[in-house]
Amino acid sequence: MLTYADLTGQADTEAEFARLLDAIRGVRRPPDASATATTLGLSYDLRGTAQGVEAARAERSYRDQLVSDLTWHDFRGMYQFEQNPRLPLADIYQELGLLKIGGAEEHRRTRERMLTLDEAERTAEVERRVGERVSGALARSQRLVALGDPGVGKTISLKFIALTLASGRGAERLGLAAPYLPVMARLAHFAQVLGREPTLSLDNYVLQTIPKSYTTGLADFVRLALGRGACMLLLDGLDEVGDTRTTGQSLRKAVVKRVQQFADRWCTDDRPNRLVVTSRIEGYWSDALANCDHVELSPLSPPDEVKQFLLRWYDAHERQRTPAPLQATADRRTAARVANLLPQLMETPSVKRLATNPLLLTILVLISDKVPKLPQKRAKLYAICTKTLIESWRQEQTDQQSRLLSDLGEGGEEIVTRVIADLAFWLHEHYPGGAAPLAECRDRLLTYLTTDEGYERSRALAIADGLLSFASCEAGLLCERGLGQYGFFHLTFEEYLAGYHLTRVEPAKRHDILTKRWRDGRWREVLLLAAGQLGVVDNRQYDAGLFLNDLRSMEPAGPDDAGRPAVLAGRALADIGASGVNPTTRRDLMRELRQTMQDRDLETDRLHDPPRIAAAVRYAAGEAWDELGGLPDDLDAWVLCRGCADGGGDLLATKYPITNTQFDRFIQAGGYENWNYWGGRESVAWRWRMAEHNVEWRGEGPVTQPEYWHTPRFGKDRRGYPVVGVSWYEAAAYAEWLTEQLRIADCRFRITSPSGVNPQSKIRNASSGCPPRPNGSG
């Protein structure tokens, strides 16, 4: 009996093949290769033969098996969770944007610039890059290399492409008219086989391995499909290939060569197969593929794409409940869960940046399912993410037990964390660009292992080499950032682990480090995360207090440094939380922040005259003071301004602009629901509140809060900030409510909003508490 291989030459000359080829090229479509076709229809080329029937059976069986293998996506590797959720891949997959790609030097400059930015500026930079996306690359490109950071979604994207093609939805979800036959392979496995068989080609590897996992006889069918130009080869993880020597070349170079040969032979005008290769960005350019289109998988764009990710996740999760809920019930639960989690993710810049990475966002989602409120202390979140990457994620993704962790035995994860943290600190100190020569990284690891961990040199050498392999290939924390240059894949983890290391050194040495580094903006995040590690993750209240006192005691080097130690300590306390230190430390620091904000002497509490503290430092102190819950003791005080009113009369005014804390009293008292404060049901103000407001600004339905009430920068959580986003009508309603409160308190005054001002102005002359009498009495 003839095989498919025997028929390949004959079939190439048949007219039906020319029609199929035209369809794949987009010229015209035969019945078997339409936009909605689910198979290639290669059996059509062999009609009337037994091989045609067998070909159709092989293709259908292969596609069905792919669909069965890829339909469900699980989340193995998330160490915190006893249960392993399984959700439909097609439902939860969030299509990722593609960014214009730059070279290695551009990435180095970007990283160095990011080091100098604060959290909000870093988030803005990420969002700026997301705005430079390109579209349609997969549909347009015959040879595509998709690069991306660990956890951005490279592997799951290939699985989604394979599932979509296997199930016949390529046109609908990918913009691919022809029903390509998807073939997936991990390049790390190919490299292992290539190490044993140095002459093996990539196409022969595929033809050898695919029948082992799928239906028998499939190899000849895939060979036939390749000859027709009807395959899409999906190669995952070029970055996972090591550097073992093979016939005079590094294994990585040998693998790249084989991929290039495959592309040049099979992905041509005559054979329009498709090739998609994924790799981490760092280290790729030293052995790049030629004549390929390069794109970078984009982070999720906050908040819209993060919200879409959550909607997909929770909707799929709700549908997997037993028994399955009604559609309306599932929709309601999904909306409620997204509404609960999304503001928590967007609340702080550091957590917001984490949420743009699909892997880290998945971890945050799973954490949120276990706790009532997502931990807002970023050190805690970074600790969980780091632990996940070190202990389990990559091992589960590759179905391989970590050789290093097994070799280290019990406590191996803690050893790895300590050693990698020391490397992070050393990199941050000596290599601002974030990457160091491999030999120097290895020497640093060796020094730490022998000096601090107490290993013999020969044993330390083996562990150091294992650590470099583990941290880059398994945990994903380290990556090659250029030829022979290693660093952390994400600046966040370098800074967190450097801070972790700082918490493990003895106090006197730590004081010396703080003295040397506290003024350096590059070290600001490291110091703040160290404080969070002590007070939040380790729950070492006493040590956290000592750390804050160390920061407070730093000596300014000149006038420009005045007040900065208190601000830095205040920011650190915000990362810890009030309960993370003893009450005395918190009280003393809050006093210093208030004095710094008001430009007062720390010893005498007198105002500096002339001013000594820079306005920017005073502002930063006020922000920290407010974030820590600071409010003036005389928040509700009034002042009498004689002769200030229209016509020369006296004017009573609140000492401070109305704050979010004060306006919240109005909300909690039902001020928005009581039409009497708005002039009655028929008043313009009440009609505005109920329906006649600008829905683009204030949303559908009745107005129930100021416009920016939930904005982290200005909203309700900033208790001492002036309330913003309040219309004239809301200000007037607040004044009516306050008048009622003063009447209850037997204060014989009526509070009114200023007359003759723009309706969008903010109320400035009302608060709670009795104002002083005209004669000065209370």
Per-residue model confidence as pLDDT tens digits over 188-201: 889 889 988 999 99
By the 8 A CB rule, do 282 and 434 touch? no
Which of 583, 760, 580, 605 is closest to 688 using CA atoms? Answer: 760
Average pLDDT over every residue of 506-524: 92
Please give the Cα distance from 76 to 55 (Å, whole number).
Answer: 36
- pLDDT category at 777 given cuts 50, 70, 90 is very low
Task: Give 233's strand partners.
Answer: 183, 275
Distances 637 to 634, 651, 652 between C-alpha atoms, Å: 5, 14, 10
pLDDT band at 483 (very low <50, low <70, confident <90, very high): low
Query: What number is the average pLDDT over the span 247-271?
Result: 88
Cα distance between residue 334 and residue 328, in whole Å: 10
Mean pLDDT of 658-679: 96
DSSP one-letter string for 481-547: EETTEEEESSHHHHHHHHHHHHHHS-HHHHHHHHHHHTT-GGGHHHHHHHHHIIIIIS--HHHHHHH
- Write down the pLDDT at residue 568: 95
Q: What is the pLDDT of residue 116?
A: 67
* Beta pairing, strands 98-100 & 293-297: antiparallel
**Which one, of 721, 730, 724, lies nearest residue 759 by Cα?**
730
What average pLDDT score do residues 316-324 get?
A: 80
Rounded Cα–Cα distance for residues 405 and 420 (Å): 14
The reported pLDDT for the residue numbered 569 is 96
Per-residue model confidence (pLDDT) at position 472: 59
For a pLDDT cut of 90, what percent of the chain falls above it? Answer: 37
Q: Is the pLDDT of residue 105 over 80?
A: no
Lowest-pLDDT choice from 21-30, 167-176, 618-627: 21-30
Beta-strand ranges (E) seen in 72-180 are 72-74, 86-88, 98-100, 133-134, 143-148
Confidence of residue 479 (pLDDT cuts 50, 70, 90): low
Q: How far apart are CA 280 and CA 95, in angstroms?
A: 18
pTM for this one?
Answer: 0.61
- Do residues 562 and 612 lie in contact, with contact meaning Cβ atoms separated by under 8 Å? yes
Mean pLDDT calculated for residue range 594-609: 92
Burial per residue of 47-65, b for 16 or more beta-carbon CB atoms within 10 angstroms, e otherwise: eeeebbebbbebbebbbee
pLDDT grade, residue 169 (50/70/90)?
confident
Checking if the pLDDT of 770 tops 70, the result is: no
Top-ranked range on mean pLDDT: pick from 54-58, 164-168, 231-235, 523-527: 231-235
Q: Span 430-442, mean pLDDT?
A: 83
Give the pLDDT score at 538: 93
pLDDT computed for residue 696 by the predictor: 84
Average pLDDT for 391-402? 50
Highest mean pLDDT among 53-62, 531-540, 708-717: 531-540
Does the pLDDT of residue 522 top 90, yes or no?
no
What's the rounded Cα separation, in Å, for the pair 150 and 148? 7
What is the rounded average pLDDT of the residues 666-681? 96
Give 550-591 pLDDT, tens digit per residue. Answer: 999 999 888 889 999 999 999 999 889 888 899 999 999 999
Q: Taking residues 147-166, what's their average pLDDT?
A: 89
And the tokens for 396? 């589960």
Q: How far apart are CA 532 and CA 537, in angstroms?
A: 7
pLDDT for residue 273: 95
Section 411-430 average pLDDT: 87
Q: For 354-390, what is each residue's pLDDT tens digit? A: 888 888 888 888 878 777 777 768 888 888 878 877 7
**Higher model confidence: residue 151 or residue 184?**
184
Give yes or no for residue 470 having a pLDDT over 50: yes
Give the per-residue pLDDT at 9. 38
